[in-house]
Amino acid sequence: MPERFAIVMRDISILREALPYIRRHHGRRFVVKLGGGLIDEPKTLSRICEDIVLLHLVGVRVAVVHGGGPQADVLSERLGAKPQKVLGRRVTDEPALDVAKMVFAGKTNIELLSHLRHAGGQAVGLSGVDGGMILASRRPVQTVRDPDSGQMHEVDYGLVGDIERFNPTLVADLVEKGYIPVLAPLAADDQGQILNINADTVACSLAVALAAEKVILLSEVRGLILGGRVVSTLSVTDTVGALAGPEVRDGMRPKLEACLYAVRNGIPRAHLLSGEDPNALLLEMFTSSGTGTMILAPEEESRYRRELERAREAALLSAPAAEGNAASASGIP
C-alpha cells in the first residue's frame, strides 16, 4: 500500500507539473517534423503518433511534416539508381523526383496517416502542391565548400526547390477544425513543375507562416552534438557559430539552418529532439527539464532564464513536501 501511494503521488505531481504548460500551449499552433528514419520503425512511429494525438486532445493545434529520405534511398537502389547528397541535401534528377513522389506523397504519408488514425487522431494527408500551398523555384547552381578538402565546387541540385511563398490557409483551417494535417515535402513552381524540398525547411517555413509557438524536429539524433556532448540551448549567435564550424555536417546542417530561419522570423523556440527517446516530445512540451537542443530567438533568451530560475525555486520548495509525503506513506511521523 505505501508503495502504491508513493506511485500515485508521483503521478499527481507529474500532472501538476504539466498543468501550467497545458494552459500555456492550449489553442496554440505547433509544427512537428518526423524524420524518415523514425517512420521505418513501427513501434517508434506508433509511440510518436500517440504523443502527437495526446497533444491534440489537450488543445494543441498540431501540424505534421515528414521526411522520407531512407525510404527514397531504398526504392532508388531497387530501381538501380544511386542516391546523391551534398551537404546533407538531396540531389534530385527526374528519376529521383519520381521516387520522391511515390515515397513522400504516397507510401510514407499514408503510413503516417494510418498510425495517427490508430492513435485516435483525424489526420489529413497533403503536400505543398495541394491548394497552391507552397510556391517554389528551382534552386540555381550553387558554389559550395567541401567540408573535407576545403575546396570550392559547383553543385546542380536538379529538381530541388527553394520556397518563394508559403500560403498556410489550408493547414490553418484544418487544425482549427480539429484535424491533424500531415504534409509531404513536395512543392511546385509557377509552371506546375514539381520540386523536392528538404523536410526540415518545409517544417520551419510552415511554422513561420502559421505564426506557430514552436517547431520541433524529431529525428534519430538527440540534438546538436559538439565536442561529444549534446548542446541543450543555443542562441542565434551560437547557432551561426556552430554552422561555421567543422562539427556540423551532413543532415544536421539543413536542420540547424532551418531552425535559424525560424527563430529569426518570429518563432520563439525551435527544437531538435530524438524521436527514439520515449516521450521526448511530451517531456519537451510539458516539463521544465525538456530534452535535446533548443534554439532560442533573441527575445526569448531572457524569458528562458526567468523560467529556469522559477523552476529552481519550485524544486527547492517542493523538496520538503515530497520528503514529507514519502515519510507519511512509509508510516514515519
Q: Is residue 88 part of a domain?
A: yes
| Cα dihedral 71, 187, 111, 54 in deg (nearest 10) | 120
Q: Which three cell numbers stand for residue 165?
A: 511563398
Res 332: pLDDT:
29
What is the reported pLDDT for 88?
Answer: 73
Residue 14 lies in a domain: no
Position 10 scores a pLDDT of 56
Residue 318 pLDDT: 62
Say if 8 falls within a structural domain.
no
Residue 321 lies in a domain: no
Tell me, yes or no, whether 310 lies in a domain: no
Supply the pLDDT for residue 326.
Answer: 40
Q: How far apart are CA 67 and CA 197, in angstroms?
A: 10
pLDDT of residue 155: 87
State the chain's mean pLDDT as an integer. 88
Q: How far is residue 187's CA from residue 129's CA, in Å, rounded to a whole number?
A: 5
Please compute the mean of the pLDDT values over residues 227-243 and round it to a whole number.
94
Return the pLDDT at 89: 80
Question: pLDDT > 90: what percent of the chain?
Answer: 68
Q: Could you tell me the sign of the dihedral formed by the alpha carbons of 280, 283, 284, 288, in that order?
A: negative
Instruction: Give me the mean pLDDT over the 20-32 stretch.
Output: 94
Query: Residue 281 has what pLDDT?
Result: 93
Give the per-residue pLDDT at 254: 93
Mean pLDDT computed over 209-221: 96
pLDDT of residue 264: 97
The confidence band for 330, taking pLDDT boundaries of 50, 70 and 90, is very low
> 314 or 45: whose pLDDT is higher?
45
Q: What is the mean pLDDT of residues 245-254?
A: 89
Residue 83 pLDDT > 80, yes or no? yes
Mean pLDDT score, 145-162: 84
Residue 188 domain-assigned (yes or no) = yes
Instruction: Name the more confident of 317 and 203.
Output: 203
Cβ within 8 Å of residue 277, ≥6 positions away: 222, 291
Banded pLDDT at 322 (limits 50, 70, 90): very low
pLDDT at 130 over 70: yes
Q: What 8-state DSSP symbol labels residue 160?
A: B
Residue 138 within a domain: yes
- Per-residue pLDDT reduced to its tens digit, 155-187: 889 999 999 999 999 999 999 999 999 999 999
Residue 328 has pLDDT above 60, yes or no: no
**pLDDT for 314:** 67
Domain containing 121 — which CATH number? Answer: 3.40.1160.10
Give a yes or no: residue 76 inside a domain.
Answer: yes
Binned at pLDDT 50, 70 and 90, residue 269 comes out as: very high
**324: pLDDT strictly greater than 70:** no
pLDDT at 296 over 90: yes
Which of these ranges, 144-148, 242-246, 283-287, 316-320, has the smallest mean pLDDT?
A: 316-320
Q: Which domain holds residue 205?
A: 29-302
pTM confidence score: 0.88
Confidence grade of residue 102 (pLDDT, cut at 50, 70, 90): very high
pLDDT(331) > 50: no
Buried b (16+ CB within 10 A) or exposed e, 207-231: bbbbebbbbbbbbbbbbbebeeeeb
Beta strands in the chain (DSSP E): 29-34, 61-66, 84-86, 89-91, 123-127, 134-138, 142-145, 152-155, 161-166, 180-184, 186-188, 194-196, 214-219, 225-226, 229-230, 233-234, 269-274, 293-296
- Considering its fold, how many domains does the chain have in total? 1
